[in-house]
Amino acid sequence: MPAAFDTNAQGHLEIDGCDVVDLVAEHGAPLWVISEATIRANYRRLRDAFRRVYPAATVLYATKANPEPAIIRVALSEGALVDAVTLGHMRLIERAGGRPEQIVFNGNSKTEAELRFALDGGIGVINVDSLAEMELIAELASSAARDRRQPVCLRVAFDNTRVTGDDAELAGYEHLGKFGMDAPDLLAAAEIARRHPGIELAGLHNHLGYPGYGESYSPELDLQRHVAYLTQTLEVARTLRENGDRLRILNIGGGYRVGNPSGFGPGRPTEFPTADEYAEAIAGCARDLCAEWRLGSPELILEAGGYLVSDAVALIGRLGGSKMRRAGAEQRSWAFLEDTSSYHFVRRTMYGFHHQVVAAGRMNDPPEGPRSIAGPVCTDDDVAIDAMLPGLRRGDLLAVLDNGSYCEAITTDYCAVPIPAAVMVSAGRSAVTRRRETVDDLVARFDIPTWLEGPP
């Protein structure tokens, strides 16, 4: 667990100096608990590692990982940029106190209204995903007088056909996927940006993401895949330089992970690159190829979402009933959470994502055997299978770790189970950052057509 997660004298899980048992007594359960100290520590570790290798490195917080304004505010206060994929993201960044120039606008299907909002507001950078989008931006940038040129970065689609070596799985990764531009469209988009008086061709963008979804994973493959994506992007930069373009931004996407010794993610790997290893491989590649190909020293932007927040959040749930299932000589002990399940962090159900579970109120109790944990919804919603836990009782609190990225962000109220509250903790303080949804809130969203009124 991160340094800010500890066991106190009462044997309770403590996060940033706050006793989880006390937090539930005050705020109820289920409850996401967000560690401010862990977010800051993760940010600084990644930033410092990359800047030691490549001084012009900037960490951007990928809002899609967890769009809580409180988290965005912490990232901004550390000096991070932030990205947005939708108008909703931009408004949440605004709610966090972010300024337009701190935003990188991502996404493959930006609406005309979103682009107008970005252009009119003076957004920092637009990452352009297609030739059609570049044409629309050029049209919109010409429709009104502006006092600045809009910086754009062009997203490079990875060419799978050029994969060499023994990583056959990378050759099939995102094959003919929806993101980015192939060379002909990218060069045409660059020509539009180059000739437009209201647009600055600022740089290039790529995004591998976490390369462990559906593929074999090892720290070595992780680094190898990031370097392959970066190398192809820098080859495009070299082509553009031959056309006279001097790019000032190299956005190399995200996919960095802190990891967990008990296992993390699909397949439950236990080893991941360190921040220094990520930096040496990725920033080192950028440094060396930029020098070799005379590309200057563009700003290196890292789109780090999961790295900053994944291990900074725990979901606290309260146990209800339990039972034993038997089949011949086999048996499985089940314990059930009240009002929460893996449908509140659906990457567990989507990818078989592993999350470590601990008994938050009995941290010093030795395990008594494997217990499987699930929730109340009417489908498979297991949180853990055969986790080693103390003998559990109704009312015990469990903490589901690594709940910070792509958990609250894509939570669901499946089976009409309301979405939990969230609190941020810091130096013994706590504050609600997301109001708890109630059953009344959930019901109030719906209406019945007038022609169905009256007794059913």
**Tens digits of residue pLDDT in 60-118:** 999 999 999 999 999 999 999 999 999 999 999 999 999 999 999 999 999 999 999 99
Coil/strand/helix, residue 275: helix
Are 68 and 34 in contact by the 8 Å Cβ rule? The answer is yes
Q: Report pLDDT for 145.
A: 56
Can you give the pLDDT at residue 389?
Answer: 96
Average pLDDT for residues 373-397, to the nearest whole number?
A: 95
Confidence of residue 148 (pLDDT cuts 50, 70, 90): confident
* Whole-number pLDDT of residue 178: 87
What's this model's pTM, rounded to 2 decimal places?
A: 0.95
**Closest alpha carbon to 205 in 174, 232, 184, 172:** 232
Report pLDDT digits (tens) over 312-350. Answer: 999 999 999 999 999 999 999 999 999 999 999 998 988
Mean of pLDDT over the chain: 94
Amino acid at the residue 230: L
Q: What is the pLDDT of residues 221-245, one digit of tens each?
A: 999 999 999 999 999 999 999 988 9
Mean pLDDT of 256-278: 92
Tokens of 7: 């066991």
Residue type, 326: R
> Could you check whether the bond before residue 30 is cis, i.e. omega within 30 degrees of 0?
yes
Domains of the chain with CATH codes = 5-34+311-444 (2.40.37.10), 106-304 (3.20.20.10)
DSSP 160: G
